[in-house]
A = this chain, B = another copy of it.
Amino acid sequence: MVGIKDVARAAGLSVATVSRALNGQSAVSDGARAKVLSAAETLGYRPNVVARSLRTDRTRTIGLVISDVLNPYFTELARSVEEEARALGYSVIIGNADERADLEGHHVRSLMERRIDGLLVSPADGRSPTTLDAVSGPTPVVFVDRWIPGSDAPVVRSEGRGAIRDLVAHLYGLGHRRLAVITGPAATTTGRERVEAFRAALSEFGLSLSDSHVGSGDFQAESGRLATEAFLDLPERPDAVFANDNLMALGALDAIRDRGLRVPDDIALAAFDDIPWFPHTAPPITAIAQPTAELGRVAVRALAGLIAGEPATSTVLPAHLVVRRSCGEPDPSSPTGGATRE
């Protein structure tokens, strides 16, 4: 069994310095830390983190609770969180809430009990008592993408209001008047905001959103399919459907294809969240692109700052509309506002 003394001997440093370096304390030069890590790696030294974490404060690990590991938006977020964390010397362990409030609470509690240095969370439930409890505890917490209104933790998120207005203008310009939306859960900030922004933009164009044109989804594919089937069963089906995330758009595509209908000829479709598959679908899907990777990086830096005792900083980054062909062929001479065209 390799011990800390062996590592100290191999690194040519004192046991105290090796201990400080392995515990992630700052009173160690970068050069010494590199020597220690290299010696520990070569010798296969495996400290007992569980025992060690009772003695020191730092684990150099952060927790990330995402809402749905099947959602490409969240997996891209998770990857950028990991890349930035690694660059700052942290490792990341991930819990998946699967859009369920009880699982969110479970993962937050479980990660906190494992002594992480900080937590990034995108709440599946905007009122989770466990998550609120975590925010008021000693471990730093940063919300990313979604948040719990009224809580103290900093929030790193994107703002889609302007892009949603651009989308409604685009749909209106193509002659669509009966517009429908598939929402995320009302318990999430993003779920509420996207439908509210859509409703506000419609009213700017003199349109209203009838109840039968609001489908309640849960940000997962099956709910998008069910909501779309209900729209297609209406006596007057909508001209266009706005799915409030990429997986509900997938469910909508499934439902439309199963009826033998075509996008955009029979019904137009747009999505919140842009993903790499959308340029390749038939037709390519018009979508609102979030700065996902940037959100992950900024959230990790905010959390690392909190861990280091710096003040909390919230950040809002803008989303933007990417026009493709799923709502109809746009007039090439029309202004795009903040949108890009592919």
What residues make up the interface of A, taking CB atoms closer than 8 Å to B?
44, 46-51, 53-54, 61, 69-70, 72, 75-76, 78-79, 82, 86, 91-96, 98, 103, 106-107, 109-115, 129, 133, 221, 250, 253-254, 257, 276-277, 279-284
Contacts and interface: CB of A to CB of B under 8 A. Distances in A.
Given A72-B72, A91-B95, 16 more contacts: A49-B110, A49-B114, A54-B54, A69-B75, A69-B94, A70-B76, A70-B79, A79-B96, A82-B96, A91-B106, A92-B95, A93-B93, A250-B280, A254-B276, A281-B281, A282-B282
Nearest to A278: B277
B54 A51 contact: yes
A112 B50 CA distance: 10
22 contacts: A44-B129, A46-B113, A49-B113, A50-B50, A50-B115, A54-B54, A69-B69, A70-B72, A82-B96, A82-B98, A91-B95, A92-B95, A93-B93, A93-B95, A94-B95, A94-B96, A114-B114, A221-B276, A250-B276, A250-B277, A254-B280, A277-B277
Contacts of A69: 69, 75, 78-79, 82, 94
Contacts of A281: 277, 280-282
Of the listed residues A61, A110, A129, the one surrounded by the most CB atoms of chain B closer than 10 A to its CB is A110
Contacts of A50: 50, 53-54, 113-115
A129 B46 CA distance: 13
Nearest to A281: B280
A94 B94 CA distance: 5
Contacts of A78: 69, 96
The 8 closest A-B pairs by CB, nearest first: A282-B282, A49-B113, A94-B94, A277-B277, A280-B281, A93-B93, A253-B280, A69-B75
Contacts of A76: 70
A53 B49 CA distance: 11
Contacts of A254: 276, 279-280
A46 B95 CA distance: 18
Given A82-B98, A94-B95, A113 B75 contact: no
Contacts of A111: 93
A276 B92 CA distance: 28
Contacts of A284: 282
